Amino acid sequence: MSSVTTLKYTLQLADNVLIMGQRLAALCGKGPILEQDIALTNISLDQIGQARSLYQYAATIVNNMSVADKAQLFNAPLLQEKINNKLSITEDDLAYLRDAWDYRNCLLVEQENGDWAYTVARSFFFDRFQYLLYTAMLKSTDSTLAAIAEKSLKEVQYHIKWASEWVIRLGDGTDISKEKMQQALQARWEYTGEMFTMNELEKEAYNIGIGVDVSQLQQTYQQQIETIVQEAGLQMPTAAWMQTGGKNGVHTEHLGYILAEMQYLQRAYPNMEW
Amino acid sequence: MTQVSFEASFQKKIDEEIMIEPQDYMPDEYRKTLIRQISQHAHSEIVGMLPEANWITRAPSLRRKAVLLAKVQDEGGHGLYLYSAAETLGITRDQMLHQLHTGVAKYSSIFNYPTITWADMGAIGWLVDGAAIMNQVPLCRTSYGPYARAMVRVCKEESFHQRQGFEIMLNLSKGTPVQKQMAQDALNRWWAPALMMFGPLDAVSPNTAKSMEWRIKRFTNDELRQRFIDVTVDQIRLLGLALPDENIKWNEERGHYDSSELNWDEFWNVVKGNGPCNKERLATRVKAWEDGAWVREAASAYAEKRKTKKAA
Amino acid sequence: MSNEHKEWPLWEVFIRSKAGLDHKHAGSLHAADAQMAIENARDVYTRRMEGISIWVVESKHIHASNPEEADAFFDPAQDKIYRHPTFYNLPDELKHM
């Protein structure tokens, strides 16, 4: 049943950018200087925009499924009830009514903002992955996914530039910034391995031609990260153990809080237009 | 030219509606008034980001989230344009921020009120931005060039802000009873503070006369406030909400709506720092600035290093 | 105290709004270096598709004419109307000139 695979794959892509965008959005008004506050918000807006395109596509897929096919798609009762009542669902239903075990974003994006170095490190690791992912996704046999990838790539190119320059700037700035940047890279590195470990869904998506074999991206990723880290005069981070789980719905504790905050209005006042 | 003729030619320019530019002669008092007003305006924009930023992570739909985020970001941009305009008068942004952080400089009191429900995003966009626009449109023709040009840019960008706020109110008013109640509650809470945004009554406004003479201001506080009331009452009716003040009545003779006297005691107390969120807002700004210190230093150090590398 | 540290320099931003037009002064901003100034300009001044090309120059490098000499500088151009095409009386039959 390939439409279920496309749906779940699209949701995984959407969850990543939504949670990342949500994290960065929380920094609006709190940046180290006005110009960078605005820069960070632009990145967040791009990501929320990407998430919307993906959720909209996912909602279309659900709405076009046969009643039998969509009878048991989600754990979330509010969402599944709506589907079973033959109502069409929207981008917002998918973003606001699924619980943490339905969310398939990688662990990296849900990590806390921390200080500027931690924020930069998380974006640096994530944006670089997104760039490689979207580039490979241009060849997806699913034309909508390929089109979203193409549009998003332009945005991500700028995100990469922003994050890489900050890694270099902090690495080659003052002693304090160097230490903080090194620490942040080290702390976030253990969440990068998961992005390249194919889960069942990704394997299936790859087999039917819509998805990307992320395991093939890892070597290029490592090289590109290393180039920037070296230019920054920093040590390549190491991890004895890579954390995994997010892509299979097993998250860190942070996600529950992110969702509680993000979804509260839709849950406190269900089925209303805003 | 003598000092006297300098001043005469300055006032002549003002009277002929010729804009004053940074390098032109201007009386000290004019410069000081502008620095005070523009920096206060800039501070209002960036402190004003906070009560709304508060709700970005909780916005009830992805569209609302994106719109609100873009809107709050715009406020940051407006702060930036205004700080830049003030910098042409011989003060640095760091100096202005220092004045804000130490409580020497003021910002609009409205931002010291809390945003408690989602409807507050609607009320702020509609009423607070509406009042701000009414204040700001005349400033596009203010006598100081850089300020006027910044305001042109600000006003152009603001036009979607009030619309998005009104749209939120409209959706709530047409929604379920509890949503309508939410909208009414927000209107009731934001009405008086929004009216106070036009500043104290003309009779007691210390700066109005001189600012009018110099064409920094073009309408008095009371004129603008009345205009705002007249426009907004009709919009409240359009939303189908109850008027937030039982004394609002059309006065045929004046051709304006009458309304209750505002609580100026509260106004002055919020100005003095006793509003419900004064301390919190300032603390948030100070923390962001202090947390960012090492970042700004690092970027400076890096730029310095690269310059020397290039030179070598 | 963070105030004692050096502020990022001020930059003037010039933006070309579309192909074929001049770069026009858009405003100013702070940035640690030129690269960052260009990127900040992109983020601050082109959020509504206002531009396709950006120039930045550190504000301290701008030299301006002196407003006190404005009369001597600019008034003499006022009586040279023969520099403008409308100065010349030509027959209506003449096209394309």
Domains, in order of start, for chain A: 2-268 (1.20.1260.10)
Cα–Cα–Cα angle for B187, B188, B190, rounded to 5 degrees: 65
* Angstroms from B68 CA to nearest CA on chain C: 15
Mean of pLDDT values over B174-180: 98
Question: Is residue C25 situated within a structural domain?
Answer: yes
Question: Is residue C89 situated within a structural domain?
Answer: no
- With contact defined as beta carbons under 8 Å apart, do A38 and C44 qualify? yes
Residue B215 in this model has a pLDDT that exceeds 90: no
Over pLDDT 70: what percentage of chain C? 95
Mean of pLDDT values over A11-35: 97
Question: Is residue C58 situated within a structural domain?
Answer: yes
Q: For residue range B14-23, list pLDDT tens digits in order.
A: 999 999 999 9
Q: For residue range B42-58, list pLDDT tens digits in order.
A: 999 999 999 999 999 99
pLDDT at A1: 56
Around Cβ A151, how many Cβ atoms within 10 Å? 13
Question: Is residue C26 situated within a structural domain?
Answer: yes
Question: Is residue C55 situated within a structural domain?
Answer: yes
Nearest CA-CA partner of A180 in A191, A170, A165: A170
Cα–Cα–Cα angle for A199, A222, A162, rounded to 5 degrees: 100
State whether residue C10 is helix, strand or coil.
Answer: strand
Chain C residues whose beta carbon lies within 8 Å of the beta carbon of residue B149: 27
* Angstroms from C88 CA to nearest CA on chain B: 32
B223-248 exposure pattern, b = at least 16 Cβ within 10 A, e = fewer: ebbbebbeebbeebeebebebbbeeb
Chain B residues whose beta carbon lies within 8 Å of the beta carbon of residue C30: 93
Chain C residues with CB under 8 Å of a chain A CB are 8, 29-32, 35-36, 39-40, 43-44, 47
Write down the residue that tokens 């209750």 correspond to.
B260
pLDDT at C71: 82
Residues 6 or more apart whose CB falls under 8 angstroms from that of C91 comprise none
Across the interface, whether the CB atoms of A33 and C47 are under 8 A apart is answered no
Question: Is residue C85 situated within a structural domain?
Answer: no
Chain A residues whose beta carbon lies within 8 Å of the beta carbon of residue C44: 35, 38
Which of B69, B168, B293 shows the shortest C-beta gap to A25? B69
Q: What are phi and psi of A202, to 5 degrees?
A: -65, -40
The token pair at B39 is: 């920096």
Residue of C nearest to B70 (CA): C47
A76-107 exposure pattern, b = at least 16 Cβ within 10 A, e = fewer: bebbbebbeeeeebbbbbbbbbbbbebbbbbb
Across the interface, whether the CB atoms of B58 and A265 are under 8 A apart is answered yes
d(CA B193, CA B60): 25
How many CB pairs lie under 8 A apart between chains A and C? 24
- With contact defined as beta carbons under 8 Å apart, do C38 and C54 qualify? yes
Share the mean pLDDT of chain C: 88
Chains that touch C (3 or more CB pairs under 8 A): A, B
Question: Is residue C83 situated within a structural domain?
Answer: no
Which of A48, A177, A272 shows the shortest C-beta gap to B298? A177
Residue A66 at interface with chain B, using a CB cutoff of 8 Å = no
pLDDT at C68: 79
Residue B64 at interface with chain A, using a CB cutoff of 8 Å = yes
Question: Is residue C38 situated within a structural domain?
Answer: yes
Which residues 22-61 of A are in CB contact (within 8 Å) with B?
Answer: 22, 25-26, 28-38, 41-42, 44-45, 48-49, 51-52, 55
pLDDT at B3: 76
Which of B80, B81, B98 shows the shortest C-beta gap to C3? B98
CATH number at residue C40: 3.10.20.520
| ipTM of the complex as predicted | 0.97
Question: Using 50, 70 and 90 to split pLDDT, how confident is the model at C3?
Answer: very low
Looking at the structure of chain C, the number of domains it has is 1
Which residues 28-87 of C are in CB contact (within 8 Å) with B?
Answer: 28-30, 32-33, 36, 44, 47-48, 64, 66-68
**Which domain range does residue C9 map to?**
3-64
Across the interface, whether the CB atoms of C40 and A39 are under 8 A apart is answered yes
Residue A216 in this model has a pLDDT that exceeds 70: yes
Chains that touch B (3 or more CB pairs under 8 A): A, C
